[in-house]
Structures are given as structure tokens and as C-alpha cells.
């Protein structure tokens, strides 16, 4: 919502820049998509690694402290 409000302010002040941002936003999103997928993959990889490393402790009854 804040992004939309900022875009409206830019539209009022300088409409060519606002229209350029409106056109370029999907292009930038598509260019950044592979990096998001790589980040998601590494996040899943490290979560799986942590689960495998903690498996012996969980089998012995250890519980993670909240907080």
C-alpha cells in the first residue's frame, strides 16, 4: 500500500517517471526472480541440513527452548 501511495505522489510530481516506473516494474521483477528462487532453494537446503543435524537430539527427547 505504501508503494502505491509513493507512486501516486511521484505521478503528481513527475508523471513521466511514474509511468516509466510502472512499465519497468514487471521487467525488474522478472530479472530478480531467479535470485529469489536461488534464495528459496538455499533456505530449504539449510533447513533440511539443520533437521538432519538435530535428528539425534530430537530422538533423545531434546526440545528447543521458545524465544
Q: d(Cα 25, Cα 18) in Å, to the nearest integer?
A: 10
pTM of the model: 0.57
Domains held by the chain: number = 1
- 24 is a domain residue: yes
Give pLDDT tens digits for 4-63: 899 899 989 998 998 998 899 999 999 999 999 999 999 999 999 999 998 888 888 877
- 17 is a domain residue: yes
Q: What does the block give as the cell for 51?
A: 533437521
- 65 is a domain residue: no
- 30 is a domain residue: yes
- 51 is a domain residue: yes
67 pLDDT tier (thresholds 50, 70, 90): low
> H or E element: which one contains 1?
none
15-34: burial string, b at 16+ Cβ within 10 Å, e else:
eeebeeeeeeeeeeeeeeee
Q: d(Cα 9, Cα 24) in Å, to the nearest integer?
A: 18
Predicted pLDDT of residue 3: 87
Amino acid at each position: 500500500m505504501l508503494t502505491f501511495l509513493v507512486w501516486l505522489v511521484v505521478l503528481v510530481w513527475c508523471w513521466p517517471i511514474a509511468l516509466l516506473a510502472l512499465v519497468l516494474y514487471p521487467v525488474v521483477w522478472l530479472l530478480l526472480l531467479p535470485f529469489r528462487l536461488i534464495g528459496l532453494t538455499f533456505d530449504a537446503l539449510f533447513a533440511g541440513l539443520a533437521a538432519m543435524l538435530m535428528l539425534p537430539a530430537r530422538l533423545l527427547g531434546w526440545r528447543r527452548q521458545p524465544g
